[in-house]
Amino acid sequence: DQQVKQNSPSLSVQEGRISILNCDYTNSMFDYFLWYKKYPAEGPTFLISISSIKDKNEDGRFTVFLNKSAKHLSLHIVPSQPGDSAVYFCAASGDDKIIFGKGTRLHILP
Amino acid sequence: NAGVTQTPKFQVLKTGQSMTLQCAQDMNHNSMYWYRQDPGMGLRLIYYSASEGTTDKGEVPNGYNVSRLNKREFSLRLESAAPSQTSVYFCATLLIRGSYSNQPQHFGDGTRLSIL
């Protein structure tokens, strides 16, 4: 069973517009959620995280929103830039586990 | 700042051959992890070591063994490689493993392994 789901394998967004990446989870024991960004031929790198006691965390162009009742989080990137083209992994931490989603490939179109 | 170093970066093996993937970190992190990434499958945990001297199975441990040689090094061994083990393997570290794992993992750049 997939405890962390990223239902969109890919997403294309015009440069300058907002990119919204979604993630759903099933385990109520998760207490931190993280987003990682991955470029080809490189390892994932940490982007932003949020505690389960918050509903929003912002860092520059990146904002993560958490809706605990819906077990849903989203990553907003605004404005989107060409360098944002990458694969984004959602991860959930807690209950002595770290579980990754399958990733969403984001294409920023010129 | 090397961070997490994985060797080799690429390897091609024949079915049945053995291979050890090496991972070394210089961040003084306690926990280390081995993941595999396959198309459409995300990152799946093979084995992890919460601290020096301990190792535990992850989601997909079959066909692999690990050794936490010391705090810095965590190796992954394929005793008899199979085509199903063709994948990209990532090593990761975490400062402290625990219920409140709010720290991010740090990843190496991966080892691309092909089994023919």
Are A43 and B102 an interchain contact pair (Cβ–Cβ within 8 Å)?
no
Closest-CA residue of B relative to A2 is: B41
Q: Given this model, what pLDDT does residue B11 score? A: 96
Q: Given this model, what pLDDT does residue B39 score? A: 85
Chain centroid to Cα A32, Å, comes to: 12
Spell out the SS3 assignment of chain B.
CCCEEEECCEEEECCCCCEEEEEEECCCCCEEEEEEEECCCEEEEEEEECCCCCCEECCCCCCEEEEECCCCEEEEEECCCCHHHCEEEEEEEECCCCCCCCCCCEECCCEEEEEC
Are B105 and A102 an interchain contact pair (Cβ–Cβ within 8 Å)?
no
Q: Given this model, what pLDDT does residue A101 score? A: 95
Pick out chain A residues at pLDDT < 50. none
pLDDT band for B97, please (50, 70, 90 cuts): low
Closest-CA residue of A relative to B91 is: A43
Q: Which residue in A26, A33, A100, A32 sits closest to B36, CA to CA? A: A100
Provide, as residue numbers in chain B, all residues whose Cβ is less than 8 Å from the Cβ of A93: 101-102
